[in-house]
Amino acid sequence: MTSASFTDPPLLRTLAQRHHLHIGGRGDDAIVFLHGFGADQKVWRFVAPAFEATHRVVLFDHLGCGSSDMTAYGPRHDRLEAYAEDVVALVEALGLQRVMLVGHSVGGVIAMMASLARPALFSRLVLVSTSPRFLDDPPAYSGGFQPADLQALFDLMHSDHFGWARMLAPMVVGEQGPQALAREFEVALRTLDARSAGRFARLAFYGDHRALLPQVHTPALVLHCLRDRIVPRAVASYLHQRLPDSRLLELDADGHCPQLSHPALTIEAIRGHLAGPFSPAARR
């Protein structure tokens, strides 16, 4: 960790324990990977190592998720912005420079919020299967879910947690996705802490963050699978059209988690985003 200049070692130790922090790689530039709902940092295990030869690579669990310190999870996490504040605190404590945030699903929204809170810290964003709003808002916006759909999802989550996990896992991985990944994700969903998972799920699925998009000037790659049952193709186009400096890359792939089902394509996309010059004129 020679390239990191720790601004407050005691604080860093505290944050590292809270978030089950893992740091690898080398170099002056850094990549911080953010997971979404129902997952933890292991969702990046096929992708993150590919960047350790050239970048400082940071993996962590959001509070209330994975192996994070549940005693540090509290009322402040009733706001999605609190998760972005956690990201900023980690990056500042590590003394990282030129940081690219790679966020999956609601992790992409958290990444955008962090970039707005401290724009000088973050050089680029990769938004993987990200939605600013899951609920439809007719006639102008199709998020993929009707209110009744989400209510049924949450009712099942509370009444039959195992049944909810069996239903949601194939949707996330994709019907053509590896069955081993679907089973793995089902097990992960079944073992979620009920209190924190319910709160995080409501923040993810009921939030409306569309107003943030025009304010995000950090260059962003919108990475989307063409056959994603959680985030429709129209949402990816919406993100691209409203982010001032963005590029849309659609993968001919199934599912909501390309970092698990199609890691080689995901790695290639992130590398392309790192390598290319970026400006509004480069949008396509």
Catalytic residues: 105, 228, 256
Rounded Cα–Cα distance for residues 261 and 253 (Å): 8
DSSP letter at 244 equals S
User: How is residue 237 written in tokens?
Assistant: 């186009």
Phi and psi angles of residue 223, each rounded to the nearest 5 degrees, phi first: -110, 125
Helix (H) or strand (E) holding 259: helix 258-261
> Could you please report the per-residue DSSP string of 124-135?
EEEEES--SB-B
Rounded Cα–Cα distance for residues 182 and 199 (Å): 23
Cα 175 from chain centroid (whole Å): 21
Q: Which residue has the tokens 């007719």?
A: 138
* Closest residue by Cα to residue 276 from 58, 124, 103: 124
Q: Which residue has the tokens 């609190």?
A: 82
